[in-house]
Structure 1
Amino acid sequence: MSVDIEGRSAAEIAESLRTLIERGKLRPGDALPPVRALAEQLGVNRNTAVSAYRQLTNAGVVVTLGRGGTRVAGASAVAQEGFAADTALRDLATGNPDAARIPDPSDALIGIARRPVLYGEPVIDPGLERSAQEWMSADLPPGTPMRITVTSGAADAVERLLAQALTRDDAVALEDPCFLTSIHTVRVAGYRPVPVPVDDEGMTVEGLRSALEQGVRAVICTPRAQNPTGASLSERRAADLRAVLAEHPYVLVIEDDHYSLLSRRPHHSLIGDGHRRWALVRSVSKFLGPDMCLAVTASDPETAERLAMRLTPGTTWVSHLLQRLVHALITDPDVRERIERAGSHYAARNARFAELLTAEGLPTNPGDGLSVWVPLGAPARAVSEQLMRRGWLARPGDEFALGDRAPSQRLRLTVHELPDADLDKLAADIGASVRAATAQSRIAG
């Protein structure tokens, strides 16, 4: 290495390396000297060099890659949900709800502007808290002690829940394939993701058992409408997962029930009776709109206390105007009926699309949620390229994968806004794209 690393103590060596990185003399991806070579170069004990690298790893400045050595960390981009900018293609990658099916808040807004809330007052609106208590307790073991916390959406809740329980480089069990926001949250915070495979019944038992054996300190699970697969925990699978977790009562279990009121499936929880550290998170973004940045979290009292400390009045509470608006909407019978109709609409459109794909020779389970997880039998990126030539923008399953593995053979498509004629054309175009990608692969092979 051409750069000069200095220092006699671990702190001095770490500071020297940070300076070299900050000044651009070491760049993301650059390899650092092996521990033994660095120790010999500086004339220090090997353990001193190990400690210096550990400090930098914990700070997220470098990454350790086993036989690949230690390298300068770089910003690793994660795909984001939402509309693609500057494209003339029909965008099937959004993951968005149908704007026309989001309830109009105009009438509710008129009634919420009461007296202003001042510093030092309770951070949760009493009406919303009462409704949330009823909503959340219905899906938890009877008599479970719990407290309610309100955050600026589910991602905010999950990030704060992890931060109050973990330190950098702690291991977190994530579903694989995984929700994009969860990947982003874990990666940015410097936690170590441990993939748990997902099948048609949700998170697998053996996958969870393996993750726990690897020392994960938190588990993030989607009990229904898992994104991207659409899988929901079956009653049997949830019971089996609870049995595994019963041996690890202090592992933080986070259930992200993001689809909640829209779901066509029952809620089966992996939070067992007596589990010590847990949180059930429900946002309103799927049925009241992504801009309605609010989630309610039910959790054990200790976790709630730690979470509340990160939501102090005067700095990070959620606006009481927003809390009142959400409470007014979710307790309005007409709004609840509209939400119910929206859930039925999404399910019906996805089911019809799955039937069309099955007729094309691509047997598809519509699952639950806003999108459909489409099996291809061919590399997803090659199929998505073929679809672009036919005017469609699709999202390949590779974007949801954790770690290195074979290229995905799935697409996640959001199709509920397409009229019947467009659904028919899309299914036919997918079939043609799969055949073209398969033929291309055979020629290349």
Structure 2
Amino acid sequence: MSTQTPQISGGTAAEIADSVRGLVERGRLAPGEVLPPVRALAEQLGVNRNTAVAAYRDLARSGVVVSQGRAGTRVARRSRVPQEGFAAAGALRDVGTGNPDPRLIPDLAPALASVADRGPVLYGEPTIDRDLGSWALDWMAPDVPVPAEEVRLTLTSGAVDAVERLLAQALLRDDAVALEDPCFLASIHLAQLGGYRAVPVAVDAEGMTVEGLRHALDQGVRAVVCTPRAQNPTGSSLSAARAAALREVLADHPYVLVIQDDYFSYLSQQPFHSIVGPDHRRWALVRSVSKFVGPDMCLAVTACDADTAARLEMRLSPGTTWVSHLLQRITHAVITDPSALALIERAGKHYAERNAAFAALLTERGLPTSPGDGVSLWVPLPVAAREVADRLTRRGWLVRTGDEFRLAEGAPPSQHLRLTVHDLDEASAATLADDIVAAATATA
């Protein structure tokens, strides 16, 4: 696009922004196209330079354009983020799904039957069902920094919905948010959709790193999203010492919103260690039921400070977007059923045992691997993961490489695979282990 293009018009910042937005919507400005420099646009339109600056700033905040410093201002691209779940594998065996085992998800039929005769819920009634609220308080209260009588609970349609709403009430476009790197796919997606600037925080075997968090806070992040256990994709969980060190770093930033996404809670084989200290002012603990009651049960419980809770409640007011009481009652019926709880406990042990067994297979074959916690396994490789993934495709396997979970721009190619292997039988697991080692050690 020429810097003297006559397409953009307007005499005020609002008019100029509307003009650019209209050109983008009509396809006359394509994604990635460079807009005129501020000085050139101001001269072309006969306006003050500050007016052009304000127009571009408004466009950036609304996600229409992206400012790239000396590289100029471009029309934003709409990039797709990989999603969890099954891929179009065709004849390939998909071991990158991240899905729980359907055989270890409780049957919802008895729960549905038990709540079917409880009558309708009308507008204006409490958003949280009484029985579920009592159970949820017992679930959350031991792990938050306030006494049980001060805990404020909010229900959302899953953990991703909770994190999105928490970030939306705390951040503006271009605000910085600290995310783990490698990162949960949905968190990457949320940052892109919200127009937030994602600041990567490295993750090691003990979870979010202290130096990484300190660097992010120095960059002015206004929110931190941390997975305290079963971090996706690495499977790492915070140790008590690491959590204490992170609390110490955060003590100097009490108004930074800290979101702890404890999505694996009931299934985790690791203890919960919080990074939120008793004096921290903005915090939220999010726990979903999707991994143990089923992904289609879109319900998560959030405990947070009073101010954050009030903002969330305004966005989930009765009559608009509360979580279905039918889902709440089914969830409560499942989570208080001894047989369902026994199955959930068995599921957590099953994932841990199968991941440990597969990690042992790889280690025995010369590829040292630690099982971590969670549904999936994080496998280190001696070469670029994409090369191994390509070779595994030719052997009939579809895998996910660590590249899909990376945040840092310009980072070297990942040398990790994230595998979901808990549903493989012994023979299939041995074959996959052999194929991974062969693919990782093959010469180009």
Same-fold call, TM > 0.5? yes
Q: Any stretches of 5+ residues in structure 2 without a counterpart?
A: none
1:376 aligns with 2:393: no
Matched letter for residue 136 of structure 2: A
Partner SS for 2:329: helix
Partner of 2:440: 434
Matches within 5 A, 1:33-432: 33-85=36-88, 87-113=90-116, 114-141=118-145, 143=147, 145-404=150-409, 405-432=411-438
Cα separation, 1, equivalents of 2:97 and 2:282: 34
The alpha carbon displacement at 1:36 in A equals: 2.1
State the Cα deviation string for residues 309-368 of structure 1 (Å, max 9, x = none). Answer: 100111211111110110111112221121111100100000011011112221111100
2:74 partner SS: strand
Amino acid at match of 2:263: H
- 1:443 aligns with none
Quick one: which amino acid aligns to residue 188 of structure 1?
L
Q: CA RMSD in A?
A: 1.2
Shift of 1:6: 1.7
Aligned with 2:285: secondary structure? strand
1:140-178 per-position Cα deviation (integer Å, ceiling 9, x unaligned): 246263211111100111111111111111111100000
In 1, Cα distance between equivalents of 2:68 and 2:209 = 27
C-alpha deviation, 1:15, in angstroms: 1.6
TM-score (norm 2): 0.97
Asked whether the 8 Å contact 2:181–2:408 carries over to 1, the reply is no
Q: CA deviation at 1:86?
A: 5.3
Alignment of 1:11-50 (within 5 A): 11-50=14-53
Structure 1 position 192, deviation (Å): 1.2
Residues 30-82 of structure 1 show CA distances to partners (whole Å, capped at 9, x for unaligned) of 01112222222223222221111101000000001223211000211100000
Cα displacement (A) at 1:20:
1.5
Secondary structure class of the residue paired with 1:377: coil
2: distance between equivalents of 1:184 and 1:41?
Answer: 37
Q: Secondary structure at the match of 1:370?
A: coil
Three-state SS of the structure 2 residue aligned to 1:365 is coil
What per-residue deviation string (whole Å, max 9, x for no partner) do you get for residues 177-203 of structure 1?
A: 000011111111111111111011000
CA distance in 1, matches of 2:267, 2:40: 58
**Residue type matched to 2:300 in 1?**
A
Structure 1 residues 369-427: Cα deviation after superposition (integer angstroms, max 9, x where no partner): 00001101111111101000000000011000013211111110000000111111101
Partner Cα distance (1:391, 1:131) in 2: 45
Amino acid in structure 2 at the alignment position of 1:134 = D
Per-residue CA deviation, residues 78-102 of structure 1 (Å, 9 max, x unaligned), is: 0000011351100011000000010
Moved over 6 A (4+): none
Unaligned runs of 5+ in 1: 441-445
Question: Structure 1 CA distance, aligned partners of 2:408 and 2:74?
Answer: 17
**C-alpha contact (below 8 Å) 2:144/2:303 kept by paired residues:** no
Q: Distance in 2 between matches of 1:374 and 1:432?
A: 14
Cα distance between partner residues in 2 of 1:29 and 1:170: 22
Q: TM-score, normalised by structure 1?
A: 0.96
Residue 430 of structure 1 and its aligned partner are, at CA, apart by 0.3
